Amino acid sequence: MGVMIDGVYHIEDDPTPTSSGGEWQRSKSVVRNWITADGSPGPTGIEGYRAEADRYHLFVAWNCPWAHRALLARTLKKLDGMIGISVALARRTDQGWVFADEGDHTDRLLGVQSVHEIYSRGVDGYTGRITVPVLWDKKTGTMVSNESADIVRMLNDAFSTIAPAAPDLYPEDLRAEVDSWNELIYQTVNNGVYRAGFASTQDAYQSAALEVFETLDRADAHLAASRYLAGDRFTEADLRLFPTLARFDVAYHYAFRCNLKRLSDYRHLWPYAREIYQLPGVDKTVKFDIYKQGYFSPSEKRNPLGIVPIGPLVDWSPPHCRD
Ligand SMILES: N[C@@H](CCC(=O)N[C@@H](CS)C(=O)NCC(=O)O)C(=O)O
């Protein structure tokens, strides 16, 4: 793994820096332009990224939950035919995320070997971490965004006049409800599992792991009487919870020690997760074996021998019975 400083990539010794309390902190995304229907700038960034078919491309890794958000938005907004993808290998290297002639992990768009090359081509003098997902503009050869929350929002909003009809993931009347779930889920679940898994003290681990289960318990209780998090429509809040749920039993439960319960122990959350998995196209964005390869890849601190466990076997196919 590494970081880029003024456009130059540097290999890092310690890829998981923690604060003095042993708490792990995620760095902020810095490339935050927006695709809009008419090319206007959007809430941040510069103008010129107009929604057009076959103009944009996503660089992702199957195991990355943040990239998974973008892949889910692409599928659920029926944009698969107009936004292509390049998929980096799950295993990270000194060069960070890399492409290779293994499976379907070649980057056919730019022909690069690593994601850091995309950052040096697409952002002038970039300084920061080399993360996926990356949303790329083929027309100008520049990076639109490396922030998954923004990418989900723009795929939801910008393409509605040129893409097939698809549900609004951030409907006006549910925004307050969606925002409040988003905030809670981001802090305590999406990022919470990483704060548990990357903590370097018992206290930091314990408080992060307990928060994960407090929120999952709360969501489970809520889903007893509600079809989705923000009511009877599937929204961005559900989209953002799902990548963590999909990785929970096969990866976080064991690799990140989030082991008070398994997802499959939850009475309502488990059928809810299966319902989302069974939405058209969603199963194609989920790769359980690759999650294991990614989360159990060799790491000096967490898995020095790089041994990948054989289980658990989790069956996501039984009917969800939530109709
Ligand atoms: N804020 C970013 C975070 C993305 C992120 O942290 N991605 C991870 C993979 S799961 C990554 O690429 N990490 C590499 C690194 O930090 O060096 C987003 O949500 O898009």
User: pLDDT 10s digit of each residue in the chain, 323 long?
Assistant: 899 999 999 998 655 556 667 888 878 878 999 999 999 999 999 999 999 999 999 999 999 999 999 999 999 999 999 999 999 999 888 999 999 988 899 999 999 999 999 999 999 999 999 999 999 999 999 999 999 999 999 999 999 999 999 999 999 999 999 999 999 999 999 999 999 999 999 999 999 999 999 999 999 999 999 999 999 999 999 999 999 999 999 999 999 999 999 999 999 999 999 999 999 999 999 999 999 999 999 888 889 999 999 999 999 999 999 98
- Identify any residues that bridge with 4 across adjacent strands, giving them in sequence order: 9, 128
Torsions phi, psi for 186 (to 5 deg): -60, -55
Q: Is the CB of 273 under 6 A from ligand 1?
A: no
The full set of domains in the chain, from first to last, is 2-157 (3.40.30.10), 172-280 (1.20.1050.10)
> Closest ligand 1 atom, CA of 147?
20
Nearest ligand 1 atom, CA 29: 1
130 in contact with ligand 1, CB cutoff 6 A: yes
Contacts 24+ apart (CB under 8 A), 187-191: 187/211, 188/212, 188/214, 188/215, 189/215, 189/216, 189/241, 189/244, 190/65, 190/66, 190/240, 190/241, 190/243, 190/244, 191/26
Report whether residue 240 contacts ligand 1, using a CB cutoff of 6 Å. no
Q: What are the helix (H) ranges across the chain?
A: 65-76, 115-122, 148-157, 175-185, 192-197, 202-223, 236-247, 253-255, 269-277, 288-295
**Closest residue by CA, ligand 1 atom 11:** 131
Give the number of the atom of ligand 1 that is nearest the alpha carbon of residue 96: 17
The pLDDT assigned to 145 comes to 98
pLDDT at 11: 93
User: CA nearest 147: which of 88, 80, 84, 70?
Assistant: 70
Check residue 248 and give its pLDDT. 98
pTM of the complete model: 0.96
Going by alpha carbons, the residue nearest to atom 14 of ligand 1 is 131
Question: Could you tell which of 25, 115, 119, 131 is best to mutate to test the pocket of ligand 1, judged by most ligand atoms within 8 Å of the CB?
Answer: 131
For the Cβ of 66 lying below 6 angstroms from any atom of ligand 1, the answer is: yes
Q: Is the CB of 29 under 6 A from ligand 1?
A: yes
Indicate whether residue 148 lines ligand 1 (CB < 6 A).
Answer: yes
Model pLDDT, residue 27: 80
Residue 64, ligand 1, Cβ within 6 A: yes
| 263 secondary structure, DSSP code | G
Q: Which ligand 1 atom is nearest residue 148's CA? A: 20
Give distance in angstroms: CA of 168 to centre of ligand 1: 26
Query: For 189, which DSSP code?
Result: I
pLDDT at 21: 79
Residue nearest to atom 10 of ligand 1 (CA): 64
Q: Are strands 134-137 and 56-61 parallel, antiparallel or unpaired?
A: antiparallel
Residues tagged active-site: 64, 194
Query: What's the confidence (pLDDT) of residue 258?
Result: 98
Residue of 1, 129, 190 with the most ligand 1 atoms within 8 Å of its CB, for mutation: 129
CB of 132 within 6 A of ligand 1: the answer is: yes
